Structure 1
Amino acid sequence: MSPLLALVRKECLLLLRDPHALAVLFIMPILFLVLMAAALSNYLRDQPPPLTLVLEVPQASAASRFFQDALLAQLPGSTLLPRSDDALPRIRLARDFSDTLLDIPHRGPMLSFPARADGQTRQRLRGALAIALAQTRLLAYLEDSGALPEQMSAEERWQLIRQRTQSEISEHQLLSSGELSGRANASQLSVPAWLIFGMFFVALPMAGGFQREQQSGTLLRFRAQGLSSGLLVLSKLLPYLAINLIQFGLLLAIGVLVLPLLGLSGLQLPGEPLAYLLLALCLSLAACSLGLLLAALARSGEQALLLAGGLNIILAAIGGIMVPKSVMPEAMSHLANISPMSWALDAFLTLLVGQGGPRDIAPDCARLLLFAILLGGSGLYLFRKRVQQTQWMTHY
């Protein structure tokens, strides 16, 4: 067996015998993926959930009934209650609602929210109320001007108002516009985010394994056998590159196959397989190069744990992994661009949301490769110095 194969086999055996490392690399990102996809399923769903609210009508009329129908059309599946003692959003029409529709300035219905109503519900209900009220006032204007035949039924009047107030909007997604996280659903955001987070955690077992080899004297024995630093580095990179590629494929498969079984929106993988393979290789190289640098920098197992774990959490926090960049303040979203996790997530969203291909993700992949070259080169240089400085007294 060649020295390289023997060293790679040694790294694989050490990793397989370390349940904590396997848990960090596989179980942790899988749990995060499923939990966050479930937690964001309502907030990031393509179709907003139905609402339950109270519509108080002191004096019923044809205009109030039309307003109720128009409001329900803006809130599909929602329920309007005439009264309720529960803490629900409430819309109260004035007693003279029908008589004041054409007043200028117009005083609309009173809208109130319970304290626990979230911002998305408030904004959605304000928009629905404004549209329904505008449609009701348009109907009142057409009736007052004599533009509607008296024999026209209520359904025909509703269809006419809808035709007068609807427009076809052409929507295009420009990949160069950058931020796509605001358009992603729960699976499109959670699966790649926690996949990236889990892949960068290879830095933890890489750094920890190097420290154990140095403290146990294994690194010194390798040096005594004349094994080059480059060979030692390559033997450590290859197994973790393979681990990263397995993580990539496994977590994507969970997003595609397992999430629908849990009642969550499944992940679709549009585009060319070559684009996903290119992203997987660039992302793996970036994660492993960071692990190599941290392994060479850390001087103890405790330092390796703090450096690898702490840096990964910081990169994830500012890179849009834990909090989508679409909800970050502008200054924070600009800061996210320094994180390699942000580059990888942008490339993922370009493929999943923007329907892009290899050419579209090339800039982000180039950044990841440059990151890998710079950190990998620095890590190799420091690793060689550590190996050369290893003395018999380092065994303790």
Structure 2
Amino acid sequence: MRLGALVRKEFLLLTRDYHALAVLFLMPALFVLLMAFALAEVNQDRLPALELVLETPQASEESAFFAAALGGQLPESRVLESGNQALPRIRLGNDFAEQLLDTEQVSLSLIFPAATDALTRQRLRTAVQVALAQTRLMAFLLDTGDLAADSSLAERLELVDQRTEIRIDEQELLASGALEQRANASQHSVPAWLIFGMFFVMLPMANGFQREQQSGILLRLRCLGVSMGTLALSKLLPYLAINLLQFVLLLAIGVWALPLLGLPGLQLPGSAAAYVLLASCLALAACCLGLAIASLARSGEQALMLSGGINLILAAIGGIMVPRSVMPEAMARLAEISPMSWALDAFLVLLVGQGSLSDVAPWCARLLLFAAIVGAAALFLFLKRLNDTQWTTHN
């Protein structure tokens, strides 16, 4: 009876706190939508167009072919003859045509402005290497007579493309061992920001606890004989329900809202029971951590710093903000301690690998173990905080 009344009280307080509702629902939804938009082209292997300058001190058939081949490697990009210093530059040497067949090193240089990001640098290096290899092949075919000297640029490009064309059938290896066509972009991006959003439950939990302690509500409840376990459950259960609602809402945004915005919709293959298990374990881990933060923080400012800081750190090392595949080895190993990393792996097994309940069970077991350890620490801190409040009040 008391537990039900306390849970109802938490829900009423939360529904009147518009800032907390925004943190729990609006902000995660915006994260999912904005990051899906921001990474739409990257996740679909359709990288944004570039603008660069190709300097050719001595125009020749070889340099013209190189420019055309480079344009083929960077579709929709603009290759300019001149431009400002803020653009990446490719500079061909004066003896570019003569060196194609004579030496292994062709006179060519790449010049990057300091602000050029790593992805753009790598894309340009790869495009230049392929275009240069195609240009050398063209020169070799001309030298051997396999390509007519009077052939047009289009004919040369067509023949070289035929000689260098490679088709790769990319498939996903499912958890069952079967092969399936490649998963869509949303199945990689939506889960990460869904997990990140669910862990924001720490902030309203901590703030609510601070308000109740400062107003004396916690002390009055203890004076009425409400047990510590009942108080702790009254804090956990409402936010567990909210986390589960977040899970459903954010998945629904991925399934139905993203297609309305022109993005690939999230597909949910696999067992419904596996999603329920993952949602429950993830919510429990997030709420236990939230209870621990609430018990540790001594003010609203501390609650904000601890909850926000821990959330960002777990996301940074857990592969949410930066994929583990691009992390250094030491950082990738460190990611294994983040519950966000476990939840993300379980999500990818479900969404991309089309896994079953047994496939996500190991990751869910880690989340449950984390919840048990952090929850036990949270209960200890919670009891200590209540006892400190009573002692301080009576003295």
Q: Distance in 2 between matches of 1:66 and 1:50?
A: 20
Partner of 2:266 in structure 1? 268
Partner of 1:345 in structure 2? 344
> 1:345-369 CA distances to partner (integer Å, 9 max, x unpaired)?
2323444455544443332221111
Q: Please give the residue correspondences for 1:140-289 in structure 2 after superposition, counting only pairs within 5 Å.
A: 140-148=139-147, 155-169=154-168, 171=170, 191-259=190-258, 265-272=263-270, 273-289=272-288
Q: Distance in 1 between matches of 2:104 and 2:285?
A: 61
Partner of 2:123 in structure 1? 124
Q: How many residues align?
A: 388
Q: Distance in 2 between matches of 1:136 and 1:64?
A: 8
Q: 1:266 to 1:394 in 2, by over 3 A?
A: farther
Q: Distance in 1 between matches of 2:95 and 2:206?
A: 74
Partner of 2:312 in structure 1? 313
> 1:35-60 CA distances to partner (integer Å, 9 max, x unpaired)?
44454456655211222233344554
Unmatched 5+ stretches in structure 1: 177-182
Higher deviation after alignment, 20-29 or 225-234: 225-234
Q: Distance in 1 between matches of 2:299 and 2:187?
A: 38
Q: Distance in 1 between matches of 2:93 and 2:218?
A: 83
Equivalent pair of 1:214/1:394 in contact (CA under 8 Å)? no
> 1:24-44 CA distances to partner (integer Å, 9 max, x unpaired)?
222333344444445445665
Equivalent pair of 1:214/1:395 in contact (CA under 8 Å)? no
Partner of 2:101 in structure 1? 102
Equivalent pair of 2:95/2:107 in contact (CA under 8 Å)? no
Sequence identity, in percent? 64
What amino acid is the match of 2:327?
Answer: M
What amino acid is the match of 2:69?
Answer: A
What amino acid is the match of 1:108?
Answer: S
What amino acid is the match of 2:13?
Answer: L
Once the two structures are TM-superposed, the CA of residue 375 in structure 1 deviates from its matched residue by 2.0
Q: 1:161 to 1:391 in 2, by over 3 A?
A: closer
Partner of 2:178 in structure 1? none
Q: Distance in 2 between matches of 1:184 and 1:326?
A: 18
> 1:152-184 CA distances to partner (integer Å, 9 max, x unpaired)?
7765543332232233445455689xxxxxx99
Q: Secondary structure at the match of 2:102?
A: coil
Higher deviation after alignment, 231-240 or 110-119: 110-119
What amino acid is the match of 1:165?
Answer: T
Q: Secondary structure at the match of 1:316?
A: helix
TM-score, with length taken from structure 2: 0.81
Partner of 2:76 in structure 1? 77
What amino acid is the match of 2:164?
Answer: T
Q: Does 1:15 align with 2:14?
A: yes
Once the two structures are TM-superposed, the CA of residue 386 in structure 1 deviates from its matched residue by 5.4
Higher deviation after alignment, 136-145 or 216-225: 216-225
Q: Distance in 2 between matches of 1:332 and 1:154?
A: 48
Q: Does 1:90 align with 2:89?
A: yes
Once the two structures are TM-superposed, the CA of residue 103 in structure 1 deviates from its matched residue by 0.6
Equivalent pair of 1:271/1:357 in contact (CA under 8 Å)? no
> 1:168-202 CA distances to partner (integer Å, 9 max, x unpaired)?
445455689xxxxxx99985565433332332232
Q: Distance in 1 between matches of 2:84 and 2:225?
A: 81
Equivalent pair of 1:217/1:395 in contact (CA under 8 Å)? no
Q: 1:86 to 1:352 in 2, by over 3 A?
A: farther
What amino acid is the match of 2:90?
Answer: I
Equivalent pair of 2:285/2:367 in contact (CA under 8 Å)? yes
Higher deviation after alignment, 83-92 or 280-289: 83-92
Once the two structures are TM-superposed, the CA of residue 144 in structure 1 deviates from its matched residue by 1.9
Q: 1:95 to 1:363 in 2, by over 3 A?
A: same
Q: Distance in 1 between matches of 2:50 and 2:289?
A: 47
Q: 1:201 to 1:98 in 2, by over 3 A?
A: closer
Q: Secondary structure at the match of 2:76?
A: coil
Unmatched 5+ stretches in structure 2: 176-181
Equivalent pair of 2:343/2:367 in contact (CA under 8 Å)? yes
TM-score, with length taken from structure 1: 0.81
Higher deviation after alignment, 213-222 or 247-256: 213-222
Once the two structures are TM-superposed, the CA of residue 217 in structure 1 deviates from its matched residue by 4.3
Partner of 1:376 in structure 2? 375
Q: Secondary structure at the match of 1:116?
A: coil
Equivalent pair of 2:172/2:183 in contact (CA under 8 Å)? no
Q: 1:353 to 1:86 in 2, by over 3 A?
A: farther
